[in-house]
Chains A and B, each alone.
Chain A
Amino acid sequence: KAGVTQTPRYLIKTRGQQVTLSCSPISGHRSVSWYQQTPGQGLQFLFEYFSETQRNKGNFPGRFSGRQFSNSRSEMNVSTLELGDSALYLCASSWGTTYNEQFFGPGTRLTVL
Chain B
Amino acid sequence: QQQVKQSPQSLIVQKGGIPIINCAYENTAFDYFPWYQQFPGKGPALLIAIRPDVSEKKEGRFTISFNKSAKQFSLHIMDSQPGDSATYFCVGGASGSRLTFGEGTQLTVNP
Residues of A within 8 A of B (CB): 4, 33, 35, 40-43, 45, 48, 56, 58, 90, 92, 97-99, 101-107
Contacts and interface: CB of A to CB of B under 8 A. Distances in A.
B13 to A, nearest CB: 21
B44 A104 contact: yes
Nearest to A41: B103
A94 to B, nearest CB: 10
B43 A42 contact: no
Contact of B42 (A35, A43, A97, A106): A106
A106 B96 contact: no
Interface string B80-111: 00000000010001111111111110000000
Contact of A105 (B6, B43, B98, B104): B43
Given A41-B103, A105-B43, A98 B89 contact: no
A105 B82 CA distance: 24
B103 A40 contact: yes
Interface string B20-48: 00000000000010100000011111100
A98 B30 CA distance: 10
A45 B100 contact: yes
Contact of A42 (B32, B34, B45, B104): B104
A104 B43 contact: yes
Contacts of B95: 97-99
A109 B43 CA distance: 12
